Chain A
Amino acid sequence: GQQVMQIPQYQHVQEGEDFTTYCNSSTTLSNIQWYKQRPGGHPVFLIQLVKSGEVKKQKRLTFQFGEAKKNSSLHITATQTTDVGTYFCAGPGEYGNKLVFGAGTILRVKS
């Protein structure tokens, strides 16, 4: 079945440093979504990318969708303590009704 792999599993950065998490799918995706989960909270939708090579920005967050639509990345510039949490990528399953999640990247920020 379809697999969505995410790396790294865990990253601990100093406040102000940049952070990047990478997502790779075993199949071509029609779109990819990113979610953030704060410690003790539930996943919250951040963004959806649809087009090959698409780049979207949300303040200090930059999201990219690969040209082949099989990989994606989330880059955070100058991390802040409010960025702490787990970041998940997710892609549509085989029949579109399901969403398959990566294992997530846990981000910790030292102030």
Chain B
Amino acid sequence: DAGITQSPRHKVTETGTPVTLRCHQTENHRYMYWYRQDPGHGLRLIHYSYGVKDTDKGEVSDGYSVSRSKTEDFLLTLESATSSQTSVYFCAIRQSTGEKLFFGSGTQLSVL
């Protein structure tokens, strides 16, 4: 599983509250990604990182921010959660020597 841990695995929160999801990797990979998965939409990229403090937006970045202060941790924050952000969130890493992604186990987020 490429040493990827996502936390929490499940979270229920209320509209308007801040939420932070954590992705932790143990293998020092440079590239890290946050995707959300929704029925009929597949996996859509939210943000990604190509190094410590180096991040860029994906196709559905509105309402989300990220931070990467250490190589091993990539945090995804919903500043004020909305019901449209109810989804399954996957973190992924890419090894420098290849192009394939390795995914974490996902976080099921429900915003009520």
Contact = CB atoms under 8 A, between A and B. Distances in A.
Interface of A: 1, 6, 9, 31, 33, 35, 41-45, 48, 88, 90, 92-93, 97-104
A48 B99 contact: yes
A77 B43 CA distance: 26
B31 to A, nearest CB: 7
Nearest to B103: A42
Contacts of B41: 103
B62 interface: no
A6 B103 contact: no
A104 B50 contact: no
Given A1-B59, A42-B105, A98-B58, A103 B40 contact: yes
A6 B103 CA distance: 21
A86 to B, nearest CB: 8
Interface size class of B (residues with CB under 8 A): 20 to 34
Interface of B is mostly: strand
27 contacts: A1-B59, A6-B42, A33-B101, A41-B105, A42-B90, A42-B105, A43-B43, A43-B90, A44-B103, A45-B101, A45-B102, A92-B99, A93-B45, A97-B31, A97-B50, A98-B33, A98-B45, A98-B48, A99-B33, A99-B99, A100-B59, A101-B42, A103-B40, A103-B41, A103-B42, A104-B42, A104-B43
Given A42-B90, A42-B104, A103-B40, 17 more contacts: A33-B101, A35-B101, A41-B105, A42-B103, A43-B43, A43-B90, A44-B103, A45-B100, A97-B48, A98-B33, A98-B45, A98-B48, A99-B33, A99-B45, A100-B45, A101-B35, A102-B42
A99 B102 CA distance: 12
